[in-house]
Amino acid sequence: MRDQTESGTPFAGVYGPDDLAGFDPAEKLGEPGAFPYTRGVHPTMYTSRPWTMRQYAGFGTAAESNARYRELIAQGTAGLSVAFDLPTQMGHDSDAPLAAGEVGKVGVAIDSIEDMRVLFDGIPLGEVSTSMTINAPAAVLLLLYELVAEEQGVPADRLTGTIQNDVLKEYIARGTYIFPPEPSLRLVADTFAYCQRRLPRWNTISISGYHMAEAGATPAQEIAFTLADGIAYVEAALAAGLEVDEFAPRLSFFFVARTTLLEEVAKFRAARRIWAHVMRERFGARHPKSLMLRFHTQTAGVQLTAQQPEVNLARVTIQALAAVLGGTQSLHTNSFDEALALPTQKSARLALRTQQVIAHETDVTSTVDPFAGSYVVESLTDAVEAEALRLMAAVEELGGAVRAIEEGFQKSEIERTAYQIAREIDAGERVVVGVNRFTVDVEDPYQPLRVDPVLEREQVARLVRLRSERDQPAVDRALEALVAAAAGTTNVLDPMREALRLGATVGEVCNALRGVWGVHSPRETF
Q: What is the DSSP string of 163-212?
A: E----HHIIIII----S-HHHHHHHHHHHHHHHHHH-TTEE-EEEE-HHH
Give the pLDDT confidence score for residue 295 in this predicted structure: 97
Q: Is the pLDDT of residue 522 over 80?
A: no
Q: How far is Cα 424 from Cα 481, in angstroms, rounded to an integer?
A: 54
Counting Cα atoms < 13 Å in the Cβ hemisphere of 227 gives: 33
306, pLDDT greater than 90: yes
pLDDT of res. 445: 79
Mean pLDDT of the 298-319 span: 97
Which residues face 437 on adjacent strands? 433
Average pLDDT over residues 73-102: 92
Q: How far apart are the first and last CA of the chain?
A: 31
Span 229-268, pLDDT tens digits: 999 999 999 999 999 999 999 999 999 999 999 999 999 9
CB neighbourhood size of 94 (10 A): 31
State mean pLDDT over 8-13. 94
- In degrees and rounded to multiples of 5, residue 390 shows phi and psi of -65, -45
Classified by CATH at the fold level, domain 51-361+370-427 comes out as: TIM Barrel (3.20.20)
Q: In the structure, what pLDDT confidence band is assigned to residue 345 with cuts at 50, 70 and 90?
A: confident
Interval 151-166 mean pLDDT: 96
pLDDT, the chain, mean? 94
Identify whether 36 is preceded by a cis peptide bond (ω within 30 of 0): yes
Q: Are 262 and 304 in contact (CB under 8 A)?
A: no
d(CA 65, CA 124): 15
User: What separation in angstroms does the CA of 310 have from each of 347, 384, 385, 443, 449?
Assistant: 10, 32, 35, 11, 16
Closest Cα to residue 236, out of 225, 224, 248?
Answer: 248
Domain residues of the chain, as ranges? 51-361+370-427
Q: Does the structure show a pLDDT above 60 at 525?
A: no
pLDDT at position 436: 95
Q: Is 60 left (phi over 0), alpha (psi -120 to 50) or beta?
A: left
pLDDT 10s digits, 128-138: 999 999 999 99
Of 328, 186, 344, the C-alpha closest to 271 is 328
> Cα separation of 92 and 88, whole Å?
6
pLDDT at residue 524, rounded to an integer: 61
Using the predicted structure, report yes or no on whether residue 80 has a pLDDT greater than 90.
no
Q: Are 338 and 304 in contact (CB under 8 A)?
A: yes
The yes-or-no verdict on residue 108 having pLDDT over 50 is yes
- pTM, to two decimals: 0.92
pLDDT, tens digit, 9 for 90 and up, residues 419-438: 999 999 999 999 999 999 99
Residue 526's pLDDT band (boundaries 50, 70, 90)? very low
Lowest mean pLDDT of 201-210, 281-290, 386-395, 516-525, name the range. Answer: 516-525
What percent of the chain lies above the pLDDT cut of 70?
99
DSSP-derived letter for residue 295 is: E
Structure confidence by residue, pLDDT tens digits, 354-393: 999 999 999 999 999 999 999 999 999 999 999 999 999 9
Exposure of 90 by Cβ count < 10 A (0-12 exposed, 13-18 middle, 19+ buried)?
buried
